[in-house]
Structure 1
Amino acid sequence: MNLLLIDKNWQHLLFILHIYFLFFVQIYGQRLEIKRNVDDVNNDQVQSVYVPLKKVFVEATIHSFAADVTIIQVFRNDEETPIEAVYCFPIEEQAAIYSFVARINDREIVAQLKEKKEAQNEYTQALRENHGAYLLEQDEKSQDNFIINIGALPPSTECTITIAYVTELDLVDGLIIRFVIPTTIAPRYDSKQGGISSPASTTSKYVQKSPYTIKFYCYIKKIVGETGQLIRKVSSSSHPIEVNSDQQDAYVIRFAEENTHLDRDILINIELAEKQVNTILTIESNAVMATFIPTEEDCRQARNNEQTNVFIFVVDCSGSMTSENKIGLTRDAVMLFLKSLPANSQFNIIQFGSNYMTLFSEITVVYNEANLRQAERMVSHMQADLGGTELLAPLQWLKKHSPVKG
């Protein structure tokens, strides 16, 4: 997946079996890598060094089971010559980046999500026309890393990297919403060693000799979900924090100590006043997040096959899913789900694009050998050939049909 750096346009996230287009990145083990000779950027023999990290600022807004996180990191070129700055960071499933900005002096580079081939074609064309173009893409040597060339960084110049992402939060024991910021957004400061050490999960090297400064602010909405669930307590098991409840609609969290070093993950626990019930939460105007938390009785009935399990697979078969990396992986995933359904289940499959089609005319059918074989035949022939991406119609069809009781 590539990002062509043009403007700040961003498209909405879709909660659906649309596996390929969600861009998941966990912010850990980041580093700003440089090449000493800017004119020799294609020479693999050029030795890479690492730009010192000076400051880190983390700001998060938590609304129920979702967090919007902005991380700002300031790097500085202490070399005597200009350098080509290459920003590297690994990927992970927990976070979805929606904004990436690199700022050097008065230059600002903003990423726009593009299809891989489209981004490569536009990038190549821009180079032919001698236009400034920047490309963010996966590292060929390590597919779990992303790399962006952010241009020449002059001597004694700072570069500010701003990344914003959204992420889901875990619910622990039905009572505590847990928010975690991995410490390896920056190199670890080890007080025993008296300096910086690389995270155990990365091979990054750092040239920094003094600890960076970090500021952390977290805004937690006081009402959780459509049910108006109240928060009983906010605490941290990782760092001393200050909790300010003076604002009418949110708690404001910050570190209690000024010189806080990230030698462990930042962990915030949000304790609810009572155990959370099933919730449907609308986030802004273009995305819906549904949270379903079974009770102990629900789990007991499911274990003993005392209630019907209903599974409806809504699969994106629009033209945007073309290529085996998209529709092929989707077919594999649906096939795996079908073969893993528990006994006493009912199911159906809906394919959608410009229009939609259902495997069975009823809302769901009994999960048995005959119906499973029919579903497998449908999935094996599934293609990205249904045109546009119109999700509303199949959701309306689901709304008109009553679910199976029991």
Structure 2
Amino acid sequence: MRLFFVLLPVMVFFAHPVRAASDMEDVAGRILGKADGGTFDLPMLDSTLKVTIEGDMSTVEITQVFENPSLVPVEAEYLFPLNQNAAIYAMEMRVGDEIIQARIREKAKAQAEFEQAAVEGKSAALLTQHRPNMFTQRIANLMPGQPVTVVLRYVQMVPKIDDQYELVIPMIVGPRYDGTRLPDEFADLPDEDALQPANTWAVSKVPAYPLVAGLDVPDEVATDRVRLDLHFTSGVTASDFGSDTHPLTITQTEDGYSAQFAAGKVMDNRDLVLRYSLGGDVLEAATLSHTDERGGFISVMIEPPKVVDEDTAAPRELVFVLDTSGSMSGEPMSASKTFMDAALVGLRPGDYFRIIPFANTAQRFSNDALPATAANIRKARAYVRALSSGGGTEIDNAIRTAFSTRPVRDTMRIVVFLSDGYIGNEADVLRTIRNRIGSARIYAFGIGNSVNRYLLDAMADEGHGYARYVGVDEKAKEVARDLAADLKTPILTDIQIDWGELNVTGVTPSHLPDLFDGNSLRIYARHDGAGENTIHVKGVVQGRVAQMPVTIQTTGKPEHTALPLIWARNKISSLTRQVAVGENPDLANDEITKLGLEFSLQTQNTSFVAVSQTVVNSSGAAAEPVGVPLPMVSGVSKQAYPSGFSGSSSPEPETLLGLLLTAVMTLLGLRRRRTDELFLDTPIKRVKT
């Protein structure tokens, strides 16, 4: 009987031979997997981004349409990014005429509902968070000729960076190097955490990387996969609205702008970055409030005073930590070298510096910090020019090396970190920084078109510094030079809030970072007050104590309805950081789950799941899991995807046919040839009971 259940999908597969390429020449964007000389169609994806921006608050609706161009039912899995600050509050699934509103569940319960629906032959969608910026969408029983549409909605505040507001909409997950990946002989163990040493926290691994067009499968991904529909309004004058990452068609409206991709639809191989300026009165603090049945919520935005004087700035010890791993080869490495050259030329008299290039291991230009003399700078520039790329991305080891020497006396230590952040062990890096940062600062510079912003932003937060990004395009070297020439020192440090008579809880961020010229800081909290209150923002400006009173109106009326979601998402982010660094992780995890359920938010512990009422797969054949292929990240070479990354490490891609034949060979007692799974936690087969 057992043999029958395993062979059933195989018999169904051969009973419905996959269409040859010549039969489907009119299907745009189709990708063929290959196995033993045969081919089969992989799931296709079409997306629409609907973005609404009101001042510095944004609402994003992402529509994902999944299609199955083959003749057999499949379970599709799609790896994709979202902004790490996104408060994902709703999901719906559309199958034919049926519209299903997804429900938030604890992660295990959501997965159980999804699995049961899959066995029953129903359509189902399951959203799972692997990192704050990395998600998978699973679609059960994706049937030939019956598309499934999934709609996600989220809100977030738009941060102010270098005097402009910047909204980042990630569009592709880059590959993640994982130096802690299990050896092959342990890959089939059911519980990887069982291999962990005692008294250490287990952090879920990132999913294995999907098939990549042009690498694992033929380069046939359609160039028109994503559409943009954007509307911008503001109560004050707006200017400089546009994007350096994507050409836009922008139309001015009565109250703002509308925009679409100039090409109509684009490839999802680089992040979309939108920037704009807001005019009107210059405010150094602005507040938002909202009250409903859950209580009161408040947001305070702070900007630093304009008093910076570089002539009085303290000498610095600049520790340059430069990623030279394989994923940085080509244009990213070139931009990184340009940055380094400009930074070295811009060193001030009295500064000291070190250079630590790293890949699998960390190297050193010198054992100790060197004074920024003309001779030392000249040697350092030649050293950087001669660097080459290759190997893995062992960031944690590089950070430890950066802090391995004593700081130079009477200087401010600034660790300047340049990388794409393509790793899977973010928690190790953040834990190292928190334990070793002391009074130093970390400035994180992301090099690439789709970098790991979650890691780099978190490194900057833990390091009391800031993060900036250099896209790999024709302006990359110019941007790199500008950023390197302006390695800022913080203006407002040691920030504290005196809330006065206002009783607040759940303040985020829990550790208030320094403020730099052109930046702003938003602080969120719950409160139980009403009426007018005065709080005081306190800090240190160039060694002198400074403070600013801020008046807050808490009217008790619902004004900014998205504010509770944004507060909850920021609180979850703070708790997620606690888990990552091992700070009361049990309590933090419980609170994350509670907030996710209370505010209906996607988190690492809660998932949205949608299940149709209608049975769509009545064939008796189980849908086999296959991944939605991704394009290669723009500006990244094939060296970003070698063995050891969370990606395909075999020259032959895994295919549906290969999986089924492997199962049959195992039953017949033949030697099992191991194939890489598309996703580590995805079952290879499922049968109806």
TM-score, normalization: structure 2? 0.32
Give the paired residue count: 271
Question: CA–CA distance in 2 between the matches of 1:301 and 1:166?
Answer: 30
Say which SS state the counterpart of residue 147 (structure 2) adopts: strand
The aligned residue for residue 279 of structure 1 is: 286
Q: Is the 8 A contact 1:72 1:160 kept in 2?
A: yes
Supply the AA of the counterpart residue of 1:82: P
Deviation per residue, 1:70-98 (Å, 9 max, x gap): 11122210111122334544576321211
Matches within 5 A, 1:28-67: 50-53=42-45, 55-67=46-58
Supply the AA of the counterpart residue of 2:93: A
Structure 1 37/288 Cα, relative in aligned 2: closer, same or farther at 3 Å? Answer: farther
Structure 1 118/216 Cα, relative in aligned 2: closer, same or farther at 3 Å? Answer: closer
Structure 1 245/50 Cα, relative in aligned 2: closer, same or farther at 3 Å? Answer: same
Q: Is the 8 A contact 1:134 1:148 kept in 2?
A: no
Question: CA–CA distance in 2 between the matches of 1:254 and 1:113?
Answer: 32
Supply the AA of the counterpart residue of 1:136: L
Q: Is the 8 A contact 2:250 2:258 kept in 1?
A: yes
Residue 56 of structure 1 deviates from its aligned partner by 2.1
- Work out which of the two has the higher radius of gyration on C-alpha atoms and give 1 or 2: 2
Matches within 5 A, 1:48-197: 50-53=42-45, 55-89=46-80, 93-116=84-107, 136=126, 138=128, 146-147=135-136, 149-173=138-162, 175-184=163-172
The aligned residue for residue 205 of structure 2 is: none
Structure 1 313/289 Cα, relative in aligned 2: closer, same or farther at 3 Å? Answer: closer
The aligned residue for residue 218 of structure 1 is: 230
Q: Is the 8 A contact 1:38 1:82 kept in 2?
A: no
The aligned residue for residue 505 of structure 2 is: 314
Question: CA–CA distance in 1 between the matches of 2:132 and 2:246?
Answer: 33
Structure 1 268/314 Cα, relative in aligned 2: closer, same or farther at 3 Å? Answer: same
Say which SS state the counterpart of residue 75 (structure 1) adopts: strand
Structure 1 150/288 Cα, relative in aligned 2: closer, same or farther at 3 Å? Answer: farther
Deviation per residue, 1:126-179 (Å, 9 max, x gap): 87xx79695736489x99865554331221332222111112222022x31111
Q: Any unmatched runs of 5+ in structure 2?
A: 1-8, 14-34, 176-207, 309-488, 515-524, 530-534, 537-583, 596-689
Structure 1 284/213 Cα, relative in aligned 2: closer, same or farther at 3 Å? Answer: farther
CA RMSD of aligned residues (A): 5.2
Question: CA–CA distance in 1 between the matches of 2:290 and 2:230?
Answer: 18
Residue 102 of structure 1 deviates from its aligned partner by 2.4
The aligned residue for residue 230 of structure 1 is: 237
Q: Is the 8 A contact 1:65 1:168 kept in 2?
A: yes
Structure 1 131/203 Cα, relative in aligned 2: closer, same or farther at 3 Å? Answer: closer
Question: CA–CA distance in 2 between the matches of 1:64 and 1:94?
Answer: 17
Residue 61 of structure 1 deviates from its aligned partner by 0.5
The aligned residue for residue 290 of structure 1 is: 300
Deviates more, 1:285-294 or 1:211-220: 285-294
Deviation per residue, 1:99-123 (Å, 9 max, x gap): 2222222333432113446657877
Q: Is the 8 A contact 2:81 2:171 kept in 1?
A: no
Question: CA–CA distance in 1 between the matches of 2:132 and 2:491?
Answer: 43
Structure 1 292/202 Cα, relative in aligned 2: closer, same or farther at 3 Å? Answer: farther
Question: CA–CA distance in 2 between the matches of 1:308 and 1:184?
Answer: 37
Residue 182 of structure 1 deviates from its aligned partner by 1.6
Return the match for 1:257 from 254, 260, 263: 263
Question: Counting strand residues as a fraction of each chain, which structure ranks higher?
Answer: 1
Q: Is the 8 A contact 1:38 1:83 kept in 2?
A: no
Structure 1 38/58 Cα, relative in aligned 2: closer, same or farther at 3 Å? Answer: farther
Deviation per residue, 1:263-309 (Å, 9 max, x gap): 43222211122655322235797865432222235998855x8x976
Structure 1 185/58 Cα, relative in aligned 2: closer, same or farther at 3 Å? Answer: farther
TM-score, normalization: structure 1? 0.50
Question: CA–CA distance in 1 between the matches of 2:150 and 2:251?
Answer: 29
Question: CA–CA distance in 1 between the matches of 2:174 and 2:64?
Answer: 9
Question: CA–CA distance in 2 between the matches of 1:133 and 1:263?
Answer: 28
Structure 1 246/301 Cα, relative in aligned 2: closer, same or farther at 3 Å? Answer: closer
Structure 1 144/245 Cα, relative in aligned 2: closer, same or farther at 3 Å? Answer: closer
Question: CA–CA distance in 1 between the matches of 2:268 and 2:123?
Answer: 35
Say which SS state the counterpart of residue 172 (structure 2) adopts: helix
The aligned residue for residue 270 of structure 1 is: 276
Question: CA–CA distance in 2 between the matches of 1:97 and 1:178?
Answer: 19
Deviation per residue, 1:23-43 (Å, 9 max, x gap): xxxxxxxxxxxxx77999xxx
Question: Counting helix residues as a fraction of each chain, which structure ranks higher?
Answer: 2
Residue 237 of structure 1 deviates from its aligned partner by 1.6
Question: CA–CA distance in 2 between the matches of 1:38 and 1:138?
Answer: 32
Question: CA–CA distance in 1 between the matches of 2:139 and 2:526?
Answer: 39
Q: Is the 8 A contact 1:67 1:166 kept in 2?
A: yes
Supply the AA of the counterpart residue of 1:152: N
Question: CA–CA distance in 1 between the matches of 2:54 and 2:306?
Answer: 26
Say which SS state the counterpart of residue 212 (structure 1) adopts: coil
Q: Is the 8 A contact 1:245 1:251 kept in 2?
A: yes
Structure 1 266/118 Cα, relative in aligned 2: closer, same or farther at 3 Å? Answer: closer
Residue 222 of structure 1 deviates from its aligned partner by 2.3
Structure 1 256/38 Cα, relative in aligned 2: closer, same or farther at 3 Å? Answer: farther
Deviation per residue, 1:4-45 (Å, 9 max, x gap): xxxxxxxxxxxxxxxxxxxxxxxxxxxxxxxx77999xxxxx
Q: Is the 8 A contact 1:235 1:241 kept in 2?
A: yes
Residue 185 of structure 1 deviates from its aligned partner by 7.7
Q: Is the 8 A contact 1:283 1:289 kept in 2?
A: no
Supply the AA of the counterpart residue of 1:63: E
Question: CA–CA distance in 2 between the matches of 1:143 and 1:265?
Answer: 16
